[in-house]
Amino acid sequence: MCYVIFFRQNHIQDLFLKLDRDSSGTLERGEIIKVFKQMCAEPSEAQKLFDNADVDKSGTLDKTEFEYIWYTLFGDKNFDG
């Protein structure tokens, strides 16, 4: 089953906190890929989005990097990172 999800910024922040199960303040690649699979994204596209969002190349996404992915997918011309 695929999910199409539209979020406002506060919902994106809530989603980030729910996905950040260890409260580290970051999300690992596997956690993000799992979310994209639930949205029926191609694995290669999910990898590309993750790599583009991981600006500091830490192998994890912080809240700002995570928001970048959502705004890239669903668009928001007011996103300033």
Classify residue 56 by its DSSP letter.
Answer: T
pLDDT of residue 57: 95
Contacts of 47 (CB under 8 A, 6+ apart): 33
pLDDT at 25 over 50: yes
Domain-wise residue ranges, the chain: 15-74
Count Cβ atoms below 10 Å from residue 41 Cβ, excluding itself: 17
Q: Please work out, in degrees rounded to the nearest 5, the angle formed at the alpha carbon of residue 77 by the alpha carbons of 21 and 42.
A: 50
pLDDT in tens, 11-21: 788 888 888 88
pTM check: above 0.85 = no
Mean pLDDT across the stretch 35-62? 87
Mean pLDDT across the stretch 19-46? 85
Indicate the fold that domain 15-74 takes in CATH: Recoverin; domain 1 (1.10.238)
